[in-house]
Amino acid sequence: MLSGHLSKMRTQLDANQNNLVQYFLPLDQDEYPLNSLLGKKISLNFTGLILCKNCAKPTKKSFSQGFVFLVCVSWLAVICAY
């Protein structure tokens, strides 16, 4: 059984295999290929803990793929504006 902090699933188009899409599940710093699980039943359990991807603060909600709103999302918006 795997465990860790879940991030947005990553995909990759594999031009060497007739444009087959490869799926990857990011947990913490590792990525796990999912193509072998297509069509199979899996289960995910939510522990109730959401941590900001930038500052690791616990939060009830995350924004923009995993950031706390008042500090990190606002700070990232300032950086992107420049």
pLDDT tens sequence across 37-75: 999 999 988 888 888 777 778 888 776 667 776 667 666
Residues 6+ apart with CB under 8 A from 44: 6
Longest dimension (CA), the chain: 45
pTM for the full predicted model: 0.68
Question: Which tokens in the block code for residue 14?
Answer: 């594999």
Percent helix, strand and coil across the chain, each to the nearest 5: 25, 30, 50
H-run or E-run covering 74: helix 74-81
Q: Residue 63 has what pLDDT?
A: 66
Domain boundaries, the chain: 1-47, 49-82
Mean pLDDT (whole number) for 16-37 = 90
Q: Please count the residues of the chain.
A: 82
